[in-house]
């Protein structure tokens, strides 16, 4: 258990109060089969279950009666075969007691608990389910189809409210993840040379993540084709002159995440053309840090970044026309088809499984439907204790350039002839994790992976 029993007792008490009434079910995860039932991926507990019930074992469900306050940890006990194969472990009662949960019950009782609540006309609250085994289990309990589950908006809102604001203890754990991330990214930069494969670099940094914590917080993006948003590493060797985009994060043993991106010149130095684009991205990155603070909408920080990017792309002759009008039309999204950032915490896109609209938006700030801005995962007003990513990027995506050019999309703001010259450029992204503080914000992680042009080139020159 990461925090004190009191922390978990208090979190559940707040959850009960926010939800108000009914029976709350929080499903922990089971092992997830990779290529046959007994060969599972590395176990990953559900973040909300972990947040409220503290335990990492598979096969558990937390039940909270919001009316009576009764709390039960549901799970089956182990037998001698489990001991031989998995070692002696604590009983479900012990696990419950550690987390300050008074009751425990075997899994067969879950059906009864739910049936009784339904019979009494009470609401049964559960979150959106992303694991299909749990979907089947829950649908069977409720007598419905796995695709017909109806998650509770009250429960979603309550969980989002609590998990969005990180405590000082949680920040410490995220800082730990950032330190592992620092080791990963500086190692990737040291290894980044012509002839080394993307897969090799990705493999080594995933080994660093696993050496000090869990597996990476998401599938690392390590690619010479930075213009592919999710460019997974391939066995192809790095080519001199190109850029390597590396987007990777660590997870601590307690499942708090980091998420950083660096873009490194494979030859050790940026070309003039690369410098011109890179410096726009690094300036956008710094701008966000200047602007983000409590009370400011992250949507507006995103838009500030889009305006700066448009101004600078105009200077290079890639865009043209009025900046405000270009950004309003979404012309910049040809280069930046994603958002400036997302919430981060126990999930690298924190709570994304609960529905982005509930996490990143609210009644005041509604999501955009415009291409590019519609991919902004976090738009609402920032609060002290939020952790968000700051990850601007500029990409030259040949298929998208062709499509827009053919359709004349935003043609008044885009100099397609000039853009053609960048079609083999690739893409650049720079990303750090940002804590919203009382009156501003700061990067998380004690050590900063270099990202300003001079620092990057110095680091690469010094590595030998």
Q: Of the listed pieces 9-17, 61-69, 164-172, 349-357, which binds its own copies according to CB under 8 A?
A: 349-357
Pairing of strands 124-126, 23-27: parallel
Pick the piece of the chain touching its own copies (CB under 8 A) from 37-45, 64-72, 165-173, 240-248. 37-45
Q: Does 183 bind its own copies (CB under 8 A)?
A: no
261 φ, ψ (degrees, to nearest 5): -130, 135
Which of 14, 21, 32, 271 binds its own copies (CB under 8 A)? It is 32
Q: Is the dihedral of CA 82, 85, 86, 87 positive or negative?
A: positive
Confirm if 162 and 14 have CB atoms less than 8 A apart. Answer: yes
Q: What ranges in 292-397 are assigned the alpha helix state H?
A: 298-315, 323-329, 356-359
Residues in the interface with its own copies (CB under 8 A) total 66
Specify the stretch interacting with its own copies by CB under 8 A; choose among 27-35, 263-271, 286-294, 321-329: 27-35
Q: Applying CB under 8 A, which of residues 6, 147, 272, 364 lies at the interface with its own copies? A: 147
Told to check if 230 binds its own copies by CB under 8 A, we report yes
**DSSP codes, 179-246:** HHHHHHHHHHHHH--TT-BHHHHHHHHHHHHHHHSSS-SS--EEES-TTSTT----SPBP-TTSEEEE
In the region spanning residues 66 to 105, those forming contacts with its own copies, defined by CB under 8 A, are: 80, 83-88
Query: Which pair of structure tokens corresponds to residue 86?
Result: 């998995």
Q: Which of 218, 321, 416, 457 binds its own copies (CB under 8 A)?
A: 218
| Both structure tokens of 60 | 């558990």
337 binds its own copies (CB under 8 A): yes
Cα–Cα distance measured from residue 374 to residue 403, given in angstroms and rounded to the nearest whole number: 19
Shortest spacing between CB 233 and its own copies, in angstroms: 9
Per CB under 8 A, does 203 bind its own copies?
A: yes
CA triple 378-261-445, angle to 5 deg = 85
- The answer to whether residue 253 forms part of the interface with its own copies (CB under 8 A) is yes
Residue 210 binds to its own copies (criterion: CB under 8 A) = yes
Interaction between residue 275 and its own copies (CB under 8 A)? no
CA-wise closest residue to 445 among 351, 349, 344, 377: 344
Which residues 292-311 are close enough to bind its own copies by CB under 8 A? none
60 is a site residue for its own copies (CB under 8 A)? no
Q: Is 434 exposed, middle or buried (0-12, 13-18, 19+ CB in 10 A)?
A: buried
Sequence-distant contacts of 316-321: CB under 8 A, at least 24 apart: 316/276, 316/277, 316/418, 317/415, 317/418, 318/414, 318/415, 318/418, 318/419, 318/422, 319/413, 319/414, 319/415, 320/412, 320/413, 320/414, 320/415, 321/412, 321/413
Sign of CA dihedral 344, 357, 301, 271: positive
Q: Which is nearer to its own copies, 131 or 190 (CB)?
A: 131
Q: How many residues does the chain have?
A: 464
Q: Binding its own copies by CB under 8 A: which of 5, 70, 131, 314?
A: 131
CB of 230 to its own copies, least distance (A): 5
Decide: 216 and 249 in contact? Cβ < 8 Å: yes
Pick 117 or 180: Cβ nearer its own copies: 180
In three-state secondary structure terms, 9 is helix
Told to check if 18 binds its own copies by CB under 8 A, we report no
State the virtual CA torsion across 127, 260, 341, 376 in degrees, nearest 10: -80
Q: Considering the rule CB under 8 A, would residue 37 count as an interface residue with its own copies?
A: yes
State the minimum distance, in angstroms, from the CB of residue 249 to its own copies: 11
> Which residue in 4, 17, 20, 34 binds its own copies (CB under 8 A)?
34
Segment interacting with its own copies (CB under 8 A) among 128-136, 360-368, 383-391, 417-425: 128-136
Instruction: Find residue 200's DSSP bridge partners.
Output: none
d(CA 359, CA 27): 20
Choose, by CB under 8 A, the member of 62, 231, 379, 392 that binds its own copies. 231
Question: Which of 112, 132, 315, 461: binder of its own copies (CB under 8 A)?
Answer: 132
Structure tokens at 295: 């009370």
Is 110 an interacting residue with respect to its own copies (CB under 8 A)? Answer: no
357 binds its own copies (CB under 8 A): no
Taking contact as CB under 8 A, which single stretch among the options 227-235, 276-284, 286-294, 430-438 is the one that binds its own copies? Answer: 227-235
Answer for which of 179, 259, 304, 347 binds its own copies (CB under 8 A) is 347
Contact 339, 301 (CB under 8 A): no
Residue for token pair 């050590």: 447
Residue 156 C-beta: closest distance to its own copies, Å? 13
In angstroms, rounded to a whole number, what is the distance separating the alpha carbons of residues 317 and 91?
Answer: 67
* 47 interacts with its own copies by CB under 8 A: yes
59 vs 321, beta carbon nearer its own copies: 59
* Residue list 382-401, contact with its own copies (CB under 8 A): 397, 399-400
Residue 199 engages its own copies in binding (rule: CB under 8 A)? yes
Residues 388 and 445: their CA atoms lie apart, in Å, by 13
Instruction: Provide the binding-site residues for its own copies, judged by CB under 8 A.
Output: 29, 32-42, 44, 46-47, 80, 83-88, 130-133, 135-136, 146-147, 199-200, 202-212, 215, 218-219, 225, 228-231, 235, 253, 255, 337, 346-349, 351-353, 397, 399-400, 403
């Amino acid at each position: 258990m990461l925090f004190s029993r009191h922390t978990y007792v208090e979190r559940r008490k707040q959850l009960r109060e926010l939800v108000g009434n009914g029976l709350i079910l929080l499903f922990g995860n089971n092992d997830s089969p990779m290529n046959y039932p007994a060969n599972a991926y590395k176990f990953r507990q559900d973040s909300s279950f972990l947040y409220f019930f503290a335990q990492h074992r598979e096969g558990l469900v937390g039940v909270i009666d919001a009316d009576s306050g009764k709390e039960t940890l549901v799970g089956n006990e182990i037998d001698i075969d489990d001991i031989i194969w998995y070692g002696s472990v604590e009983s479900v009662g012990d696990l419950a007691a550690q987390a300050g949960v008074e009751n425990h019950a075997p899994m067969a009782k879950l059906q009864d608990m739910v049936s009784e609540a339904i019979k009494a006309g009470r609401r049964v609250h559960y979150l959106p389910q992303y694991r299909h085994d749990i979907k089947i289990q829950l649908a069977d309990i409720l007598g419905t189809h796995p695709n017909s589950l109806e998650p509770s908006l009250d429960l979603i809102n309550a969980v989002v409210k609590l998990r969005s604001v990180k405590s000082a203890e949680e920040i410490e754990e995220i800082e730990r993840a950032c330190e592992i991330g620092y080791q990963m990214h500086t190692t990737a930069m040291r290894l980044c040379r012509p002839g080394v494969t993307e897969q090799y670099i990705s493999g080594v940094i995933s080994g660093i993540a696993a050496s000090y914590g869990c597996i990476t917080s998401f599938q690392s993006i390590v690619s010479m084709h930075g213009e592919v948003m999710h460019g997974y590493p391939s066995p192809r060797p790095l080519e001199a002159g190109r850029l390597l985009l590396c987007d990777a994060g660590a997870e601590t043993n307690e499942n708090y995440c980091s998420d950083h991106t660096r873009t490194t010149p494979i030859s050790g130095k940026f070309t003039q053309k690369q410098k011109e684009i890179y410096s726009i991205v690094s300036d956008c990155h710094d701008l966000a840090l200047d602007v983000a603070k409590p009370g400011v909408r992250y949507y507006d920080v995103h838009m500030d970044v889009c305006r700066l990017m448009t101004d600078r792309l105009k200077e290079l002759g890639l865009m043209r026309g009025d900046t405000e009008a270009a950004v309003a039309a979404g012309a910049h999204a040809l280069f930046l088809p994603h958002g400036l950032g997302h919430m981060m915490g126990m999930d690298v896109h924190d709570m994304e499984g609960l529905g982005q609209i509930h996490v990143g938006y609210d009644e005041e700030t509604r999501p955009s439907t415009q291409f590019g801005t519609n991919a902004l995962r976090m738009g609402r007003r920032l609060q002290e204790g939020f952790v968000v990513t700051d990850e601007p990027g500029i990409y030259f995506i040949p298929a998208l350039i062709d499509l827009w050019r053919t359709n004349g999309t935003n043609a008044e703001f885009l100099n397609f002839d000039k853009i053609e010259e960048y079609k083999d450029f690739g893409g650049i992204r720079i990303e750090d994790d940002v804590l919203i503080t009382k009156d501003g914000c700061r990067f998380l992680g004690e050590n900063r992976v270099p990202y300003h042009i001079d620092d990057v080139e110095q680091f690469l020159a010094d590595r030998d």
